[in-house]
A and B are shown apart, each in its own frame.
Chain A
Amino acid sequence: MMKQPKRLAAPIALAITTTLVASAALAQTVDTARIEAGGQNDWLTYHGSYKSYHYSPLAQINAGNVANLGVAWIHIPGRSTRGLQSMPLAADGVLYYSGSYSRVFALNGATGEVIWSYFPELDEALVARQTHSPYNRGVAIGEGKVFVGTMDGRLIALDMKTGKLAWETKLLDSQKLTVGFTGAPLYANGNVVIGAQGGEWPGRGPIFGVNAASGAKKWEFLTVAGTEEAQKTWGNDSWRTGGGGGWMPGTYDSETSTIWWGTANPAPLYDWSGGDWKTQGARPGDNLYTSSVIGLDVDSGKLKFYHQELPHDAWDFDSAVGEFLMLDRDGKKLTVHPNKSGYIFVYDREAKVQNVWRITENSNFVKNIDPKTGELIGRRDFTAGKVAEPLCPHISGGVSWNSGSYNPKTGLYYKLGQEWCMTLDIVKTTPVVAPQAQLNIGANFTIAKPPSGEIYGHLDARDPVTGAKKWEVRFPEPPLASVLSTGGNLVFVPDSRGTVHAYDAENGTELWNHSDGTGHQGGIISYSVNGKQYIAITAGFGGMAADDYAPTFGGVYKSMPRDDGALIVYSLK
């Protein structure tokens, strides 16, 4: 008699749990206010919240018990050409993420069970012509929809519950421009904002604002010569060689209804002007608004402010990193933005420079950047021919396009730096004004060791405003993936060899590690379902930075696939 109810208890409990997960997903809408509040169980936008901390306050997994972390479930998206590079999102117990070729999945966050999937039909012949392709770096969610960009120039909205197509809008003529969208969109205040690829191609790098409900295009901002003022900074009509683009999602300042976005470099990447770059060479002038941080009105796309981090960028150290830490420090509202060069810019909320500091040891494209004004001091501008002293950092950057993490509990910014250089032979090329041959580089080059010795990478724990370093962990090859810190006093680093490391957030002591079986170059998040905390990581290697690893480092990289990937989710055993 007494045993009967117990036998029934398990299936009933399971049924109730399933219902709760399902109903929670149906019950709540993701909107701007909810993303702003950044509920602790969810990860609602690429950078975690509009504050862009890549931080989870969850503390169930913590420095005391992380040794018990194990794999909860795995999802294989398939066709992971050039690895898996996206940042998963989580809302109400459901995990949403994208793979290569803009494949989108909604998974039960506790079990990995597929709720729905959506594989867009793409123009494969176009994709075959592209260079920075076919990876996708993430989705946005809002107003009951999941938004994803495609490499053939579309923005697609899917019903969050069913995965059915809600609308799709063609934003770019990718047949003509070659490029499309690989970056995640940003949802804010009824708008979906997405930026095109473009640093190396003839094009004007548009950033788009689209009505989230209808899919109607509201505005388009040209990062190359998008205003009369900007057009004057491209001598000899060189704006036609283009570049720019805002290929990673920025963030949203709701107090001023402003989108913060970073823009890519001008083309060709390397100029032969020498010191006369204001009047000579491939693209005389500052080349606005390339390699800049810009503030756009979210509803109109109107430019409100900008700071060009690298006027006349002659090194491909652009500003397209989409990370904008929104800090409150001593009553001042600040925005911290890493430039690809390894210099970290600290701004007020109108992009006026407050400080500049550097995360890399090996850097010689400029002598310094003035911390008060942001002015470049002692810049190296090349003429045609071999460059005598190697350029540091390497074209893959002093920092990756992936994100660091700011932990408000420790007050520390956990950010990866990369130490590598390149030999360079500048070649005077003919202006490329139409995307037939695609890239417009302007040099031949080879990866090189830095003056300090071997190539390496490092995780730094620093004050995000002053740059003061508290501790550092070194890696034999630069890690390329994003970093996560949590309320459990932990910092997670998925490295290039394929190992995930967990460190004590206060002192950098390694507390746990686990192999994911292949290199990392994408996102990492934490979320909670029914009171249980999970860590989700994308694994899978390949792409413009990762492809250098096998010839440069050998070892495990020689056999590492560049067409494979998995989403691996951890929880306490």
Chain B
Amino acid sequence: MRTIAAALACAVPAFAQSAAPTPQAEPLDVQQLFASTCGWCHSDAGRVAGKGPQLMDTQRSDDFLRNRIKVGKPGAMPAFGEAFTDAQIDAIIVYIRALKPD
């Protein structure tokens, strides 16, 4: 998993300074993203259930995951559709699919 994450991490996203966050085209370091943003709810970097569901071995489809990341779930998960591009969201899904027990 860490090898794949490292391969995705070609560059670090330059975060938007505009009033409303706008997606950046750069590849995403998903491992870092989990440690900074996702991991509070998706425990152990997505490997076990926490506030949010376990992501490792999820039976959800790519379309479901893509939609959930974009629009979130009221009161449970923030919407990241304005933060990430489709390509970045695809990278998050690749990370999830590659998750193995630590």
Interface residues of A (CB under 8 A from B): 81-82, 125, 128-131, 134, 173, 175-176, 178, 268, 395, 423, 425, 427, 429-430, 432-447, 542, 544, 547-548, 551, 562-563
Contacts and interface: CB of A to CB of B under 8 A. Distances in A.
Nearest to B72: A128
Contact of B78 (A130, A442, A542): A130
A548 B71 contact: no
Contacts of B13: 436-437
A85 B13 CA distance: 36
Interface of B: 12-13, 15-21, 24, 29, 31-37, 39-41, 43-45, 48-52, 71-72, 74-76, 78-80, 82-83
Contacts of B78: 128-131, 438
A562 B76 CA distance: 9
A178 B40 CA distance: 17
Contact of B36 (A129, A440, A562): A440
10 contacts: A125-B79, A129-B72, A176-B20, A432-B36, A434-B21, A436-B13, A437-B33, A437-B80, A443-B39, A563-B75
A176 to B, nearest CB: 5
Q: Rank and list the top 3 A-B pairs by shortest CB-CB distance, nearest first.
A: A427-B35, A547-B51, A81-B75
A1 B71 CA distance: 72
Nearest to B41: A547
Given A425-B44, A429-B35, A547-B52, 17 more contacts: A81-B74, A81-B75, A128-B74, A128-B79, A129-B72, A173-B19, A425-B45, A427-B32, A429-B36, A430-B29, A434-B17, A436-B13, A436-B21, A446-B48, A547-B51, A551-B51, A563-B74
A430 B9 CA distance: 12
B75 A441 contact: no
A430 B12 CA distance: 8
Nearest to B45: A444
B43 A129 contact: no
Given A129-B82, A548-B50, A436 B16 contact: yes
B35 A441 contact: yes
Contacts of A423: 44
Contacts of A444: 34-35, 39, 43-45
A177 B6 CA distance: 29
A89 B80 CA distance: 36
A439 B19 CA distance: 17
- Taking each of B31, B40, B82, B83, which has the highest tally of chain A beta carbons within 10 Å of its own beta carbon? B40
A128 B71 contact: yes
A223 B34 CA distance: 27
Contacts, number: 116
A547 B36 contact: no
Nearest to B46: A444
A445 B43 contact: yes
Contacts of B52: 547
A437 to B, nearest CB: 5
A547 B32 CA distance: 23
Contacts of B37: 437-441
A441 B39 contact: yes
A429 B43 contact: no
A435 B21 contact: yes
Contacts of B17: 434
Contacts of A544: 40, 51
Contacts of B32: 427, 429-430
A548 B51 contact: yes
A503 to B, nearest CB: 31
Given A175-B20, A547-B41, A432 B15 contact: yes
A443 B35 contact: yes
Contacts of A128: 71-72, 74, 78-79
B7 to A, nearest CB: 17
A439 B50 contact: no
Contacts of B72: 128-129
Contact of B44 (A129, A445, A548): A445
A443 B33 CA distance: 10
Contacts of A439: 36-37, 40
Nearest to B32: A429
B56 to A, nearest CB: 12
A435 B19 CA distance: 10
A128 to B, nearest CB: 4
B47 to A, nearest CB: 8
A442 B33 contact: no
Contact of A268 (B12, B36, B49, B79): B36
A99 to B, nearest CB: 13
B54 to A, nearest CB: 9
Contact of B15 (A395, A433, A443): A433
Nearest to B29: A430
A442 B38 CA distance: 11
Nearest to B71: A128
Given A128-B71, A436-B83, A445 B51 contact: no
A447 B43 contact: yes
Contacts of A430: 12, 29, 32
A425 B52 CA distance: 18
A84 to B, nearest CB: 12
Contact of A562 (B45, B49, B75): B75
A436 B50 contact: no
A213 B91 CA distance: 52
Contact of A129 (B16, B35, B50, B79): B79
Nearest to B34: A444
Nearest to B12: A430
Nearest to B74: A81
Nearest to A440: B36
B75 A176 contact: no
Nearest to A127: B74
Contacts of B33: 437
B6 to A, nearest CB: 13
A176 B79 CA distance: 15
Contacts of B41: 547
A178 B39 CA distance: 19
